[in-house]
Structure 1
Amino acid sequence: MATNRIYLLPMMRINKLLFITFLIAFSLTNASAQSQNKSLKVVLESVAKQFSVHFNYTEDLVENKFVKPPRLNLGLHKIIDDLRQQTKLNFNKLDQTTYIISKRIIQDNNQVNLLNEVLLSAYLTKGISKQSDASIVIEPKQLSVLPGLVSQDAFQAIQYLPGISSVKQNLNNINVRGGTHDQNAFYWQGVRLYQTSHFFGMISSINPLLANKIQIYKTAAPANYNEGVSSVIDFKHDFSKPSNYSFQSSTNFLDASLSYQFNPSLNSKLMVAGRTSLTGFLDTPTYKEYSKKIFQSTDLNLLQQQNNIGLDITQKLRYYDFAFNYELVKNNFKFHLDGLIITNQLTYEETSTDIETKSNEISQSNALLSFQVDYNFSKKHHIQASANLSYYNLEAENRITERAQQLEQANLVLDYNLNITDHLSFNDWKFLSAFNYRNLGVRNNNISISPDAQQLTKNVLSSQALITEVVYKKSKFNFRLGNRLKLYSNYNQFIIEPRLHINYKISSTVNLMFNVEQKYQALYQRINLQQDFLGLENKRWALADENGQDLLQNLQTELDLSITKSNFQFNIKPFFKRVQQINSKSQGFQNQLETFQLFGNYESFGLESLWQYRIKENRFWLSYTYQSNKYNFSDFNPQRFPNNYDISHQINFGNSIEFNQLQLALGGTFFTGKPYTPINSSNGINPDGAINFLNPNTKNLENFLQLNFTAAYVINYKQSNITFGVALLNILGSNNNINRYFELNSTESDIIQFNTKSIGFTPNLFLNIKL
């Protein structure tokens, strides 16, 4: 009874009795249901007859196996998933009418035979889990609906996790424990991903139909991951995870996606996926609201305002992505080939009354390619070799009439890696040793016409790393100790990057975890001018050892306590993070620091917590994050002041429920306003003509509140699945300010205050088909 008081304290005594009665009745119902288990063979025959399919298996696989018969009205794919879970067998789809049942072979080349335990399942919702290796895992194809989302978009979903936010409400500005976006290392199939969004921050760059596993490490990531002083986020497509469908499509008010998976031969598998925007011929309410959110406070918004003074404005936006995953398995040999192309293109044409037409363009693309070969010497020993390439390109041409200037800008990154890794495991131990060679090149161009000027820079940095890691796992205790010993071409010293993860299962319901790491980062993003690249994507990649920038260095630690009891889950996590050698140009200042280049550090400490309760298919969750985040710039007065991303209090909340084929999710976000720098109200402009700012970040914006809703309905017909629904962002129409800054007017005689708004009420419809 004491346990129940923890989370039923606010309720009346009669409600306690009713709840206990409900639990007893539910338990008795479960016990009764389990006594009615049927032979697996009988269940398979019933399913085969109902859906006109065939199951191929050997008799020894099904004899003496009993399962709880699934309801036939669930549809074939849910029935297969249910039987897969109950029997721990593989159900592999051979063709439209045939499934092959086989024993499940545990083989994961990254974690040989040492599987991670799920500490918290259905973390927020189905398809998200907390693992014993300190990671959060999202499986998009298992993901239930989340408030405001039209698809299983992992980039959108991670913002509901404690400690992760986007102060500017953009996917190209994800902040983990107060860090900037560039301090997160994003990977796709082991390749570094530099473009994380379409539509300049509004949509994930990874097709939701593509990846089937995303791992998120806030600290103490395995040693094979490089950089990421704030976090590591890894997108994977794993063919070992069976799929019930070969064809999938998804359509909403912004874009359309397709994916197709098939077997070119007996030993190979291929998946292709593509997505394209519909913005070229559909002018939907969703597109209008997204455009309003993105284009405010940019040069393109200036063009929009000129539309009434003799300028005709034409806007064309297009984005698309294409990816493939190929796998060949033969005896002890495995070969992977993976590729991804992401592209955004925006053109703004302004035609004046004298028939002169000027084109303003911005394009952003990222191409990734990976080769990987695995060879198994035995079940306990295998070797892996890989080569990968990532090419990022951001270009813009600005010919805006109001500025009477033409400007061409470009930012290119070429990143290629060679890796060889040896995995050895026996009993409860696993050993990893590896070598990594990385060559990183960055180019930045600025070409101005009238006045004529150009600035062209090209920098290259190479590194070699020796990687070692040892993993020990027992039923109640496990640890992972890893290190990267790195040597950069421009630095005459070895760099040590240790990371330690310890996990101890105190009891069947209580788990304690400790993580600590130290990492370095050679690549970062800087903002030279707020209106660079039309103000849409004004961050450009740059290398350490350029413009006086040293390597970023972090020290991060956390203690993690998880409690799980029947339908109740609780997680609390105090953390501390220090990142040194940050560049003020990377922080997005829009005050007196905007034109300065200073080097310093920031320290962030706080507490993350998650409370979750489930009654059957009804899930309630609430997360709270407290954070204190301060800069320290020794060459500025004052030295210490609040970080631009210092969100002291943040609460995410939600409720999701399933009624047979109907899925509903309602939830939202509340956080205290971000800091901004006020001006001197009595003397706003200095004698030198500059704005007279007070001390940095001494005021905060108004509190932020956004409520979102999603409803989806699932239709199962034989082997097909159709889901349609509606997603509503900001259903209250809250007028949230997410940024505030000040500029002088055109005559430099007065100060203008600019407020950047979050997205308004935004409806979206979606249709997903699986065959």
Structure 2
Amino acid sequence: MSEQFQVQFNYQSELVEGIRVVPLSRKRTLKEHINRLEVETSLQFTKIGEAIFSITKNIKICGYLKDAQSLKALEGATVLGEVESTISASNGFFEIAVSSLEEEITISFLGFKTIQEKALLFDSDNCSNVEMYQQEMQISSIVVEGYIVRGIDKNRDGTTTIDFSKFTSLPGLIETDVLQTVKALPGVQSVDETVSNINIRGGSHDQNLILWDGIKMYQSGHFFGLISSFNPQITKTATVITNGTDVSYTDGVSGTIQMNTHDRIQKEFDGSVGLNFISADVFADLPIGQNSSLQVAARRSVDDVVRTPTYDTYFERVTQQTEIDSNIESVLNSNQNFSFYDTSLRWLYHPSENDRLRFNFILINNDLSFDETSTANKTLESRKSSLSQYSIAAGLSYEREWNDQFSTHFNAYNTDYKLQAVNANILEEQLFAQENSVSETGVSLKGTYKWEYLSLDVGYQFVESEVVNQNDVDVPRFLRRDSEILREHAIFTQMQFQNKDRSIFLRPGVRFNYINKFDIFLIEPRVSLSKKLGTDFQIEMLGELKHQNTSQIINFQNDFLGVEKRRWQLADNENIPILRSKQASLGLQYEDNGWLVDATGYYKEVDGITSQSQSFTTKYEFEKATGSYNIVGVDVLLRKQVQKISSWISYSYMVNEYTFEEFEENQFPSNFDTTHSVTLGTTYSNDVVNISTGLNYRTGKPTSVPLLGNEIERGEVNFDTVNDSRVEDYIRADISALYKLKLSRGLRSELGASIWNVFNTDNVINNFYRINAENTVDKFSRSALGLTTNFMVRLKF
């Protein structure tokens, strides 16, 4: 052929060894000859000159990328050759053509060590597994996978992580509501069933540090706490810390809930739309080139389009025993409207393999309004009362890996929260306006140096917090505005060690805090230690000292129409002390053959609480005092997994006691003392169906009752011994089901239904008492949700 067409072929001699072809007809053209040779030999002929062709072999390599630890498929990894590139599929599969077996292949995936190997080292015939190792594999985090159900994992440092990409379901939930899911963990309760009153090991909600991608959030719920205000479609993981907290965190004397979006850059468009009986939402993850992606999520209530039974049940639950629910006889309430929305945005950019830049934004809003109408001087008058609650926050973080050992992490955020209410007293022709706002800015920088089994963190953090409380009355004119600002500096350091066989994990650290307004210096040591005992047992010891500068005032009847009863306040180191806590715990775990037993005993003490932050509704409701509480408790979890079924029972016992030296009775049970708490649940899950049922029981919360036979004294309710009684015990059964259906390639659907409180049990969450016009005492009770159904449909594409 060379002589016939006067062309030259360049190739390596071993490339054509053993290749035989049928002689070609001389009548064919050069192009026809080359096409036939490429088909019969799998060789590739490339014209590189006027009459010169190079001959190469078109070699393909393939494989399935897996996480070396969990063997989970890695989707979206980048595979680069010298000429071609590709992205791994959802099952981790990749295939790429190379010019020779000596060609170098680079495989990279965020959070994993980059692979750089020659093509000849890949099994191109069988497409075998290619395992990738996490960057910090030497300090592995997960110790128990599927702690309760799949997607909830217990970590070696004592924390618990919920990964919603792997999550199945929990009883009564059809959406991956972040904070409702957190309440399923042992030791986490809510005495009034809301996500805006989460009690971690007996603490009040304001003692929880809630972070969304490193941004501190002062608002956690829609519908004033019945559902989370964090969109579950963009919030991918949540980590709960009860003790042994990482020293880079401040605040949260009771616990920390840290939520995060995905770290991975999306290579292909991903999105969803969803609708349930409360809200509609939309989510999109958009790739922007090879090194950047943008996530956008939005959610809005549907009440202005359709008023569902679920919405009505929620609305009645929120407004019961408030001015919105029932006004005085001569005033008629009408046009009650409530709506909410949230918007979240995340932009992720990787300028290089070693640099990661992230920007986050979140907007949360609740609006409630109603008309008050009355006849005055034979004239019908109407005025509008309203309540709005919103948060707007943004954060920026930058991570850089300078080399295999040293990395830095910079984070900055600003968060603003505002709660406003206008209460129109139509009979007195008076407007009463209230406002509570928080504005906070935080900056931190951390450096990490790693050795084979050891890492060292050193960092600095600055936080400036401003809290404003304002009351404004037009007739008679009254205006009071209180504004406080605190600035705090901190440096911290901690070491993390794990031995070669990963049987010992140790993380000691210390945080040095300085509050310049009070000229106070606080030292806070913290430690997390775990040790494997054989193959099935593990012992865990945790301890910490922490402090907190913000807390809440709670007034059930007078603040913000009685609906949102919490206003934030800053410590003044006099009437409002700095909260300080100390905690120690000892735990033992046993895991074998699908069985898990996890038992943890703990002691916790928090000093500097105010009585106004502790949800008193009976005795001492209007008193002001400072004190402390201490808790001795035990959390136990028993779980069994059999193939696709996970069943569990958890039990929590606590003795939670206040000390208020200024009160007549200076020691008594805490308002959050749910002495006994039991949860049972079973979940069945496969690739198509998730079904979950459960039962929740806990001791009724302490309360005070009027003294029998002497209920009124000096014009006030005369209470018997404080917290000497309890409301009725709480019991609730739930069920939920989720069905997943693949409609076509790239289009999936989910259908879900749930029943909350299946037996419609009337669970009283608290009582209060008022003197009526006949000079007798009336008892009022607030109840938790009754039987509540919900339905969800979602399309993913």
TM-score class, shorter: 0.7 to 0.9
For the aligned residue pairs, the C-alpha RMSD in angstroms reads 2.5
Separation (CA, whole Å) in 1 of partners of 2:761 and 2:66: 40
Structure 1 residue 240: Cα displacement = 2.9
Q: Is the 8 A contact 1:270 1:327 kept in 2?
A: yes
Separation (CA, whole Å) in 1 of partners of 2:726 and 2:460: 47
The residue number in structure 1 matching 2:434 is 409
The equivalent position to 1:340 in structure 2, one of 353, 362, 367, is: 362
SS of residue paired to 1:585 = helix
The equivalent position to 1:760 in structure 2, one of 777, 786, 794, is: 786
The residue type paired with residue 197 of structure 2 is N
Scaled by the length of structure 1, what TM-score is found? Answer: 0.86
- After superposition, the Cα gap between the structure-2 partners of 1:58 and 1:269, relative to the gap in structure 1 and judged at 3 Å, is farther
Q: Is the 8 A contact 1:436 1:465 kept in 2?
A: yes
The residue number in structure 2 matching 1:228 is 252
- Kindly provide the CA deviation profile for residues 173-195 of structure 1, in whole angstroms up to 9, marking residues without a partner as x: 11111110000000011010111
Pairwise mapping of residues 282-361 of structure 1 onto structure 2 (< 5 A)? 282-303=306-327, 311=332, 313-331=334-352, 332-352=354-374, 354-361=379-386
- After superposition, the Cα gap between the structure-2 partners of 1:404 and 1:116, relative to the gap in structure 1 and judged at 3 Å, is farther
Structure 1 residue 489: Cα displacement = 1.6
The residue number in structure 2 matching 1:751 is 777
- After superposition, the Cα gap between the structure-2 partners of 1:145 and 1:528, relative to the gap in structure 1 and judged at 3 Å, is closer
- Kindly provide the CA deviation profile for residues 612-659 of structure 1, in whole angstroms up to 9, marking residues without a partner as x: 112211111110000100000111122110000100000011111136
Q: Is the 8 A contact 2:604 2:632 kept in 1?
A: yes
Structure 1 residue 508: Cα displacement = 1.9
The equivalent position to 1:142 in structure 2, one of 166, 169, 179, is: 166
Separation (CA, whole Å) in 2 of partners of 1:703 and 1:163: 17
- 1:695 correspondence with 2:721: yes
The residue number in structure 1 matching 2:457 is 432
The residue number in structure 1 matching 2:444 is 419
The residue number in structure 2 matching 1:709 is 735
The residue type paired with residue 422 of structure 1 is G
Q: Is the 8 A contact 1:184 1:233 kept in 2?
A: yes
SS of residue paired to 2:324 = helix
- After superposition, the Cα gap between the structure-2 partners of 1:535 and 1:379, relative to the gap in structure 1 and judged at 3 Å, is same
The equivalent position to 1:164 in structure 2, one of 149, 174, 188, is: 188
Q: Is the 8 A contact 1:622 1:653 kept in 2?
A: yes
Structure 1 residue 450: Cα displacement = 2.9
Q: Is the 8 A contact 2:265 2:348 kept in 1?
A: no
Q: Is the 8 A contact 1:140 1:153 kept in 2?
A: no
More contact order relative to length (CA 8 Å, sep ≥ 6): 1
Separation (CA, whole Å) in 2 of partners of 1:349 and 1:58: 75
Structure 1 residue 259: Cα displacement = 1.1
The residue number in structure 2 matching 1:196 is 220
Separation (CA, whole Å) in 1 of partners of 2:470 and 2:148: 44
- 1:741 correspondence with 2:741: no
The equivalent position to 1:267 in structure 2, one of 270, 291, 303, is: 291
The residue type paired with residue 634 of structure 2 is L
Q: Alignment identity in percent?
A: 26
Q: Is the 8 A contact 2:266 2:285 kept in 1?
A: no
- 1:486 correspondence with 2:513: yes
- Number of residue pairs matched by the alignment: 693
Separation (CA, whole Å) in 2 of partners of 1:144 and 1:86: 19
Separation (CA, whole Å) in 1 of partners of 2:320 and 2:157: 42
- After superposition, the Cα gap between the structure-2 partners of 1:616 and 1:726, relative to the gap in structure 1 and judged at 3 Å, is same
- 1:614 correspondence with 2:641: yes
Separation (CA, whole Å) in 2 of partners of 1:227 and 1:486: 11
Structure 1 residue 406: Cα displacement = 2.3
- After superposition, the Cα gap between the structure-2 partners of 1:476 and 1:58, relative to the gap in structure 1 and judged at 3 Å, is farther
- 1:249 correspondence with 2:270: no
Separation (CA, whole Å) in 2 of partners of 1:223 and 1:600: 26
Separation (CA, whole Å) in 2 of partners of 1:140 and 1:628: 33
SS of residue paired to 2:717 = coil
The residue number in structure 2 matching 1:39 is none
Structure 1 residue 82: Cα displacement = 11
Structure 1 residue 725: Cα displacement = 1.8
Structure 1 residue 312: Cα displacement = 5.2
- 1:631 correspondence with 2:658: yes
Separation (CA, whole Å) in 1 of partners of 2:615 and 2:476: 26
- 1:363 correspondence with 2:388: yes
Separation (CA, whole Å) in 2 of partners of 1:490 and 1:61: 63
- After superposition, the Cα gap between the structure-2 partners of 1:84 and 1:578, relative to the gap in structure 1 and judged at 3 Å, is closer
The residue type paired with residue 380 of structure 1 is Q
The residue number in structure 1 matching 2:420 is 395
Separation (CA, whole Å) in 2 of partners of 1:151 and 1:58: 47
Pairwise mapping of residues 501-512 of structure 1 onto structure 2 (< 5 A)? 501-512=528-539
Q: Is the 8 A contact 1:312 1:352 kept in 2?
A: no
The residue number in structure 2 matching 1:640 is 667
Q: Is the 8 A contact 1:558 1:574 kept in 2?
A: yes
The residue type paired with residue 302 of structure 1 is S
- After superposition, the Cα gap between the structure-2 partners of 1:88 and 1:313, relative to the gap in structure 1 and judged at 3 Å, is closer
The residue number in structure 2 matching 1:589 is 616
SS of residue paired to 2:224 = coil
Q: Is the 8 A contact 1:137 1:214 kept in 2?
A: yes
The residue type paired with residue 143 of structure 1 is F
Separation (CA, whole Å) in 1 of partners of 2:256 and 2:143: 20
Structure 1 residue 449: Cα displacement = 2.8
Structure 1 residue 100: Cα displacement = 7.1
- After superposition, the Cα gap between the structure-2 partners of 1:310 and 1:698, relative to the gap in structure 1 and judged at 3 Å, is closer
Separation (CA, whole Å) in 1 of partners of 2:470 and 2:718: 32
- Kindly provide the CA deviation profile for residues 405-426 of structure 1, in whole angstroms up to 9, marking residues without a partner as x: 4210000101001112111111
SS of residue paired to 2:402 = strand
SS of residue paired to 1:313 = strand
Name the structure where helix makes up a greater proportion of residues.
1
Pairwise mapping of residues 470-485 of structure 1 onto structure 2 (< 5 A)? 470-474=495-499, 475-485=502-512
- After superposition, the Cα gap between the structure-2 partners of 1:738 and 1:263, relative to the gap in structure 1 and judged at 3 Å, is same
Separation (CA, whole Å) in 2 of partners of 1:740 and 1:727: 29
Structure 1 residue 375: Cα displacement = 2.4
Separation (CA, whole Å) in 1 of partners of 2:692 and 2:630: 36
The residue type paired with residue 719 of structure 2 is F
The residue number in structure 1 matching 2:48 is none
- After superposition, the Cα gap between the structure-2 partners of 1:660 and 1:444, relative to the gap in structure 1 and judged at 3 Å, is closer
Q: Is the 8 A contact 1:112 1:423 kept in 2?
A: no
Q: Is the 8 A contact 1:299 1:531 kept in 2?
A: no
Separation (CA, whole Å) in 1 of partners of 2:148 and 2:571: 38
Q: Is the 8 A contact 2:273 2:282 kept in 1?
A: yes
Q: Is the 8 A contact 1:141 1:152 kept in 2?
A: no
SS of residue paired to 2:663 = coil
Pairwise mapping of residues 517-528 of structure 1 onto structure 2 (< 5 A)? 517-528=544-555
- 1:219 correspondence with 2:246: no
- After superposition, the Cα gap between the structure-2 partners of 1:705 and 1:592, relative to the gap in structure 1 and judged at 3 Å, is closer
SS of residue paired to 1:286 = helix
Separation (CA, whole Å) in 2 of partners of 1:232 and 1:756: 28
Unaligned runs of 5+ in 1: 1-56, 66-79
The residue type paired with residue 515 of structure 1 is L
Structure 1 residue 296: Cα displacement = 0.8
The residue type paired with residue 317 of structure 1 is F
**Deviation larger for 517-526 or 393-402:** 393-402
SS of residue paired to 1:469 = strand
Q: Is the 8 A contact 2:226 2:314 kept in 1?
A: yes
Structure 1 residue 592: Cα displacement = 3.2
The residue number in structure 1 matching 2:207 is 183
The residue number in structure 1 matching 2:479 is 454
Q: Is the 8 A contact 2:436 2:467 kept in 1?
A: yes
Separation (CA, whole Å) in 1 of partners of 2:645 and 2:468: 52
Q: Is the 8 A contact 1:361 1:397 kept in 2?
A: yes
- 1:572 correspondence with 2:594: no
The residue type paired with residue 482 of structure 2 is T
The equivalent position to 1:661 in structure 2, one of 669, 688, 691, is: 688
Scaled by the length of structure 2, what TM-score is found? Answer: 0.83
Pairwise mapping of residues 11-26 of structure 1 onto structure 2 (< 5 A)? none
- After superposition, the Cα gap between the structure-2 partners of 1:585 and 1:748, relative to the gap in structure 1 and judged at 3 Å, is farther
